[in-house]
Amino acid sequence: MSEFDFSKCPHCNCKHFYRQKDFNKVIGCFVILTGAVFVPFTYGLSLLLVAVIDWFLYKRVADEAVCYKCREEFKNIEIPDNIKPFDHHIAELYEEPD
């Protein structure tokens, strides 16, 4: 993987990638839900606490790159600055017409 430079996808030769957080949304939801459960006992302070925990987790997770075409995920790799967050206009170029 080290020589991979995002010039094109090794699976489908697509030249477009986007970056996203490799964040486990199930864990995020679980943390928020836990906070909601304890609202009656903590006068809402638990929600504030889980918001902080959620933010902290989010900041800690690394970015990953995703191929627009085959949705292959590239993790644990240095992502160059020219890889931008998801762009709907680029995604439309690769949408399957079905």
C-alpha–C-alpha distance, residues 7 and 52, integer Å: 37
Should residue 14 be labelled a site residue for Zn ion when binding is judged by CB under 5 A? Answer: yes
CB atoms within 10 A of CB 17: 24
Q: Which is nearer to Zn ion, 54 or 72 (CB)?
A: 72
Stretch that binds Zn ion, among 10-18, 23-31, 47-55, 80-88 (CB under 5 A): 10-18
Show contacts with Zn ion in window 51-70 (CB under 5 A).
Answer: 67, 69-70
Q: Which is nearer to Zn ion, 50 or 67 (CB)?
A: 67
| Ramachandran assignment for 7, one of left (phi > 0), alpha (psi -120 to 50 degrees), beta (any other) | alpha
Whether the CA torsion 73, 76, 77, 83 is positive or negative: it is positive
Minimum Å distance from CB 64 to Zn ion?
14
Interface ranges with Zn ion (CB under 5 A): 9, 11-12, 14, 67, 69-70, 72
